[in-house]
Homo-oligomer: A and B are copies of this chain.
Amino acid sequence: MNATEEKARRSIGARRNPASAEAILDAAEAVLHEAGYSGFSIEAVARRARAGKPTIYRWWPSKAALLIEVYQRQKRDIVYADTGNIEEDLFQFLRSLFGSWRDTPAGNIFRSLIAEAQFDAAAAEALADYARGRRAYTGKLVERAIDRGEVARGVDPSQIADMVSSYAWTHLLTGRLDESEDKLRAAVGAIVNGIKV
């Protein structure tokens, strides 16, 4: 995660002890790696990290919140380019997101999280929060394009981000992360042509 991305994250656990937090995240990664999503629990992470469950819950309000942070560590850096061309910026974003989901454990973690959010209210809340943050963040690509006069004023940046990430989510959830670059460009192109000045 790069510095800007770090800053853009929600400030959950802002006052947590960095060393213990790192140890807990390391433990969480190890548990996930060894036991898989189904074996992942705050209890197992606490045991592994030799930390108390209350400590973990103080910094992460739910198992899902902890998983989201593990997810962010595992996924490769997502490209937020600033090429001066919104179509290119969004294409690079989408391509790097697809690649990260396909080539690292992050894709499976994220789709498990989405699944869990359909049955568990805390997971749903953590996911909704996270998704809102990501839309705002990706929306900055569109904001910049508005500022430089490439995209029409009046376009809602977070809605465009929503459409791009919805496209990505659905591909993740239906096993279509191998979409060709041409298809990704066409998807981005359709959206971008629709909002250009």
Q: What residues of chain A have their CB less than 8 Å away from a CB belonging to chain B?
A: 111-112, 114-119, 124, 127-128, 131, 155-156, 159-160, 162-163, 165-167, 169-171, 173-175, 183, 186-187, 189-195
Contact of A170 among B165, B174, B195 (CB under 8 A): B165
Contact of A190 among B116, B155, B186 (CB under 8 A): B155
Rounded to whole angstroms, the CA-CA distance of A32 and B116 in the bound complex is 20
Known: A169-B169, A193-B193. A115 touches B124 (CB 8 A): no
Chain B residue nearest to A192 in the complex (CB): B194
13 A-B pairs besides A114-B118, A118-B173 with CB distance below 8 A are A111-B118, A115-B118, A117-B173, A128-B175, A156-B186, A162-B170, A163-B163, A166-B166, A166-B171, A169-B169, A189-B194, A190-B194, A191-B194
Rounded to whole angstroms, the CA-CA distance of A192 and B116 in the bound complex is 34
Q: How far is the CB of A83 from chain B (nearest CB, A)?
A: 19
B-chain residues with CB within 8 Å of residue A167 when the two chains form the complex: 162-163, 166
Chain B residue nearest to A110 in the complex (CB): B118
Known: A115-B119, A159-B186. A170 touches B166 (CB 8 A): yes
Known: A114-B115, A119-B115. A159 touches B187 (CB 8 A): yes
Rounded to whole angstroms, the CA-CA distance of A124 and B173 in the bound complex is 9
Known: A118-B111, A193-B194. A173 touches B169 (CB 8 A): yes
Could you pull out 22 A-B pairs where Cβ atoms are within 8 angstroms? A111-B118, A114-B114, A114-B115, A114-B118, A114-B173, A117-B174, A124-B174, A128-B174, A131-B174, A155-B190, A159-B186, A159-B190, A160-B190, A162-B167, A162-B170, A163-B167, A163-B187, A169-B169, A170-B170, A190-B194, A190-B195, A194-B195
Q: How far is the CB of A70 from chain B (nearest CB, A)?
A: 17
